Amino acid sequence: ILCLGLGSPTDSLQSRFQLCFFLEVVSPDITAYDPISSQADIDLLAKFGIKTCSENQHGAYTLAVPTLAFMPHCEIRLYERFIRANWTTERLLRLLLIGNDLPMYIERRVSHSSTHSEYPCIARLAPLLTVDALPTHKDFPNALNCTAVQRVPPGALPAETDDTFWELPQLAAANDADDVVAEPEARSTNPPSPPSPTC
């Protein structure tokens, strides 16, 4: 289990709610990283048996085993780097992602011609995902809004000989801005209301 972008649970009520949700749905063997984590955050996570990474890999964590990745409200660049680091059939099928609704990212950026060149992994993968949106909690509407459980269903990926899908442009150099957590706006708790456009 990998947790990225949780923020500071010792300093943020929303982060504490996200942590409580996370601890309700996960099992042991958890690794977490957020560039804003304080020593108090690290100590708090350790009390729950959560290990913290010492090195910022800017999202480029490769999946050697089936992994649940919890990435609440991360920037699109961080999702792109994480998916790129696992850009093989074998690794993508190991991933269960709880994070921002990736098809919604692409849908909201459809008017931006640069989306497919800047975020090719998300643009290509998003239409193939099964997406189950999480409900918005009435007391913490921002904590998990626009958040969904996402996975690649078996048989959905093209053959690895399909260069139009698997061949990627060169990746731009990472910087700390890639790791900044997006702050989503609140959305209404009424079911018909659309999710926040900032997700």
Domain assignment of residue 62, yes or no: yes
- DSSP classification of residue 178: G
- Rounded CA-CA distance 153/175 in Å is 32
Q: Is residue 45 part of a domain?
A: yes
Q: Is residue 187 part of a domain?
A: no
pLDDT digits (tens, 9 = 90+) for 119-177: 999 999 999 999 999 998 888 888 999 999 999 999 999 999 999 999 998 877 776 65
> Does the pLDDT of residue 197 top 80, yes or no?
no
Q: Is residue 193 part of a domain?
A: no
> Could you give the percent of the chain with pLDDT greater than 70?
83
Tokens of 120: 């090719």
What is the number of domains present in the chain? Answer: 1
Q: Which domain holds residue 26?
A: 2-166
Residue 106, Cβ density class (10 Å: 0-12 exposed, 13-18 middle, ≥19 buried) = buried
- Residue 155 inside a domain? The answer is yes
CATH code for the domain of 146? 3.40.50
Confirm whether 191 is domain-assigned: no
User: Is residue 49's pLDDT more than 50?
Assistant: yes
CA distance 50 to 53: 10
Q: Look at the pTM and tell me if it is higher than 0.75.
A: yes
Whether residue 195 lies inside any domain: the answer is: no
